[in-house]
Amino acid sequence: MSKNGKKDGILRYERVLLVNPYYLGRGGLRPPLNIGTLAQILRSAGIDYDVLDMTIGYGKRQLARKIAYYKPDLVAISMMTYSYLKIYELISFIKRNFASIEIIVGGPHISTFREEALRDCPGIDYGWVYECENGLVDFCEGKNLNEIKGLLYREGENIVYTQDNPFLKNLDDFHFPRYEKFQMDRYQKEIDISTSRGCPFPCIFCPVANSSGKIVRYRSAENVLAELEYWYSNGYRRFAIADDNFTLNRKRALRILDLIYEAKFKNTVFRAATGVRADLLDEEILEKMKKAGFRHISIAVESASNKVLSNMKKQETIEEIERAVRLSCDMGFDIILFFIVGSIGETYEDFLKSIDFARRYPVLNALFHNMTPYPKTGMYDWVKNNAVMLADYPEYLNRKDRGEDHLRPLFYTEDFTFKERTKALRMRKKVSSEILKKSLRRKLKRFGMLAPCLAYLGSIYSIYDIIINTKMTRRIAEKFIYPAEKN
């Protein structure tokens, strides 16, 4: 088939296999939004497609069998930067075994690295920068490559990039994913709901703007409700809001919450899973979240030091954050706090402030993440110029053991030495376990004398990781902790 357009009315690509690759310790609990959205677009256009989500237990052998059976002429892979060399290896495996099949790769990694990704991985035939919803069908149907915005492709020895594809303005224009060819019984019975895209804040450590942009785009409240009603009618009662900034547009967020409440969904549980900004939470919006069925809220604190928050360009103060955490706890939400260890200008004493803050309130958990300088971010540039790097991103983003990056520094400074960072990273694991054990004892107190034992076991992080990342054990644990979840 011609790469340059339709030939005698034939599609450029008639059969597309969508692949969600496996990332160490990530995914597999909920159906993936990324390829779910692409599947819905292809279905709406009448293009034959199939899917393979490798995060639910599939390896190279199963992928090869899928390709041999389905016989696609295009494999489309959505790719993050984490463990990217593993995905390059997967792409090379496909090319070695199915040389005639072409491969297109999209996702945050391609949007960040662009031509560099295609140079480093010869098996990639095409790359897609930013969103592909308004160009994927044109690409499959045979529109000239140089007319498709956001496309990277090879022309002899050269790599051509057409031009940036404008971000979608109206997210209601595209159907939400129904996951019709996904093995839904292999996931936790919970659905990710994305109601907006983009983040306008300039946090220097965050790579989100490289892939989803700084201009925030929204789905209408009515469109979000239609998706919730669809899944509710199909037996789903648990939903995770996957936005970067669910409450950024206050009026729209309140409208969504009102519609959920008015719909009278029974026994539903909502989570603001990816972390909301504390300065956008107040009593009114928290009350409406509570009435709508929200149980869990993750709050991105990052640091309890205003100096560090300012250096991060977080555009929040610890006073604003503390007010929101206190209010959320008082209103009975299960709160998870996110912190980052080792940002610009942070000292060991600043880290101890974050530890004290995490212990101050009856939160469900507090997670302290080792500062990871993602390439193409302000944090990475700062570390390269002002700190002692112990490894560069090709090494620390591709380690086989994720635990390595949690327990040892990736860089150090005079203000926060290697020895101090190592001590801090070991301490934060102990503190997280301590906080989790206390919260589990509160949750399990109806079991009387067994509660301390159950809480102790659940707070051991090797056991905790198994529980939350395994469908069966997570389902059992949630029934123990939330025996009667009713709105």
pTM of structure: 0.90
430-455 pLDDT tens trace: 999 999 988 888 878 887 888 778 77
Query: How far apart, in whole angstroms, are the C-alpha atoms of residue 200 and residue 206?
Result: 11
Which residues lie below 8 Å from residue 42, measured CB to CB, with a gap of 6+?
Answer: 16, 18, 48, 49, 136, 137, 140
336-354 pLDDT tens trace: 999 999 999 999 999 999 9
What are the structural domains, with CATH classification, of the chain? 15-161 (3.40.50.280), 188-440 (3.80.30.20)
Both tokens of 233, joined, read: 């009618």
| Residue 6's pLDDT band (cuts 50, 70, 90) | very low
Residue 195 CA, distance from chain mean position: 14
DSSP 10: B
**Lowest-pLDDT range, 132-136, 224-228, 417-421, 463-467?**
463-467
Both tokens of 155, joined, read: 């022309």
* Residue of 1, 24, 29, 30 whose CA lies nearest to 14: 1
Both tokens of 368, joined, read: 């302290």
* Residue of 126, 208, 197, 199 whose CA lies nearest to 167: 197
For 170, counting Cβ atoms within 10 Å of its Cβ (0-12 exposed, 13-18 middle, 19+ buried), the class is exposed
More reliable by pLDDT, 81 or 483: 81
Query: How far apart, in whole angstroms, are the C-alpha atoms of residue 381 and residue 374?
Result: 9
Strands (E), 178-333: 191-193, 196-197, 217-218, 238-241, 269-276, 294-302
